[in-house]
Structure 1
Amino acid sequence: MTGDATLRYTSAPHRREAILRRIEVDGYVAAADLVTELGVSSNTVRRDLRRLAGDGLIRAVRGGATAADASAPPFADRSGQAADAKRAIAAAAVRHVQPGTAVALDSGTTTLEIAKLLPVDAGLTVITHSLPAIAVLAPRPDITLIGIGGQYGRDTRSFGGPETLAALEHLSVRTLFLAATALDGSGVYGATPYEAETKRRLIAIARSTVVVGDARKFALSAPIRVCGWDAAERLVTDGVPAGFSGVETELAR
């Protein structure tokens, strides 16, 4: 960065304007990148992010910030939304579970419904970083449960971060049930970079990926693209927009 550019960002209003522009374009910005781009200290960047978050202009997340409207509602709020649709989707999704195989459950309210409906005495191994799913499956002696730890996220009630990614690296599953913050014709979206990276790692260890999400997800937006539809075998949902043809779709009723 040139000296002129550095001088430009010694003004707090100019720095914050630059941060907002970057988030508007990219949906997310890492604090470490802002230190380099703005030519200021990490403490200054943290103060700017706190101020913008306090004003409701951005959402501060681990390692950076996203757009203010990028966050999904807390898990407890989401669990009551489209509850009937989620149960129907889960009932359809579990038909794709093959006995005697390893299954991965992404974190989410729909995948929690899948955890509740996994077939009994099917010889399954289940891998998940979702704390509610772990709690549902832990009492079941017929399931081999592998819980993936890391930094706990209260909004998602799941674990994430480098420790989670490292734990997943050497695992392999037959089927992954992948949740989404938002869906569109080009693929699956997540709310934060950490969430998206965990989803990508889960996709990488799975032979088959089944995306699960209710129709409302097509009306929502999220800043981080997780994957295109070419990464999934099918979508199980209760409805899709007219003309949608991104992947084989199974409608739950």
Structure 2
Amino acid sequence: MDDPGLRYSSAPTRREAILRRVELDGYVAAADLVSELGVSPNTVRRDLRRLAGDGLVRAVRGGAAAVDAGAVPFADRSAQAAEAKRAIAAAAVRHVEPGTAVALDSGTTTLEIARLLPAGAGLTVITHSLPAIAVLAPRADVTLIGVGGQYGRETRSFGGPETLAALEHLRVRTLFLAATALDAAGVYGATPYEAETKRRLVAAARRTVVVADARKFALDAPIRVCGWEAVERLVTDAPPPPGLPAVPVDVARP
């Protein structure tokens, strides 16, 4: 077998290989590149700095991610379909079982769920959303587990390797999962870190409830989080378009 280091001794060839990985997966860890390319960590760091400097990838802690040109700030998203999100949250909290652990994904709709969680229900709430943590922190009736990591200002949530590692050891009864976009194939996220965090949350939950306003069926996002087979229920504000796989749907009218 050829030495992998020989195949990637040329810097341009290495960088092309890195770009292919990022384009395919949306994210690549520096440690994986060291092994796959057969080069030193310093060489990988130099390649990633060069690619980031050229605007071809986005440097993130522990590796590189695809360039995200379309992120909408959290405050702007909060103002979009605000009444629909409150109605969705009110319908979603009916699926909260007293005395159980609940996970809240980051997002403006899940923030509304945090505000409406029933009092005195003996809930444990796990979330990486800073606004949700701020809402729930004063509540003595909620056991709050905040999942930290690298803070993302656009999403106002924590992400990265530390977040993923923490979620790996948690287990919840119900996850309320947000989405950047939806289609017949499933649920989509905007960035690699966001999508991978959502996948870890799905893996940690016994059941997943997707909460998303109907606009999400008309939007696009680059990274598929999961298919509908991983979802127990969708809570939205209008009937989904034809072609959605058979999943129970709650339609909450504003």
Q: Which interval holds the TM-score relative to the shorter structure?
A: 0.7 to 0.9
Amino acid across the alignment from 1:215 = A
Q: Distance in 1 between matches of 2:160 and 2:94?
A: 31
Structure 1 CA distance for aligned equivalents of residues 128 and 184 of structure 2:
27
How far does the alpha carbon of each residue in 1:168-200 deviate from its partner, in whole angstroms, 9 at most, with x for none?
Answer: 455443321112233332222334554444333
Distance, in Å, in 1 between the alignment partners of 2:5 and 2:84 is 52
Q: Deviations over 1:81-139 (max 9, x none)?
A: 33333222212211222333332211222111111122233333322222211100112
Residue number in structure 1 paired with 2:137: 138
TM-score by length of 1: 0.81
Seq. identity, %: 78
Q: Which amino acid aligns with 2:200?
A: R
Residue deviations 1:205-235 (CA, integer Å, cap 9, x gap): 3332101122333322133x33222221111
1:250 is aligned to 250
What are the equivalent positions in structure 2 for 1:1-253 lying under 5 Å apart?
Answer: 2=2, 6=6, 9-12=9-12, 14-69=13-68, 72-169=71-168, 171-218=170-217, 219-223=219-223, 225-239=224-238, 240-245=240-245, 247-253=247-253
- Does the 8 Å contact 2:52/2:58 carry over to 1? yes
* Mapped contact 2:66–2:191 kept (Cα < 8 A): no
Secondary structure, aligned partner of 1:226: strand
Residues 246 and 102 (structure 1), Cα distance of their counterparts in 2 relative to 1, 3 Å cut: same
Within 1, Cα distance between the matches of 2:29 and 2:70?
16
2:166 and 2:51 map into 1 onto residues whose CA distance is 34
Give the RMSD, CA atoms, in angstroms: 3.0
Verify the 8 A CA contact 2:27 2:193 in the aligned structure 1: no
Alpha-carbon shift at residue 7 of structure 1 (Å): 6.0
Q: What is the rounded CA distance, in whole Å, between the counterparts of 1:162 and 1:8 in structure 2?
A: 27
Q: Give, in whole Å, the separation in 1 of the partners of 2:65 and 2:162.
A: 22
- Unaligned 5+ segments in structure 1 are none
Question: Is residue 11–residue 47 contact of structure 2 (8 Å, CA) maintained in 1?
Answer: no
Q: Once structures 1 and 2 are overlaid, which stretch shifts more, 131-140 or 117-126?
A: 117-126
Give, in whole Å, the separation in 2 of the partners of 1:191 and 1:183. 12
Is the CA contact 1:236–1:249 (under 8 Å) kept in the aligned structure 2?
Answer: yes
CA contact (8 A) 1:104 1:175 kept: yes
8 A Cα contact 1:70 1:191, kept in partner: no
Q: Helix, strand or coil for the counterpart of 1:65?
A: strand
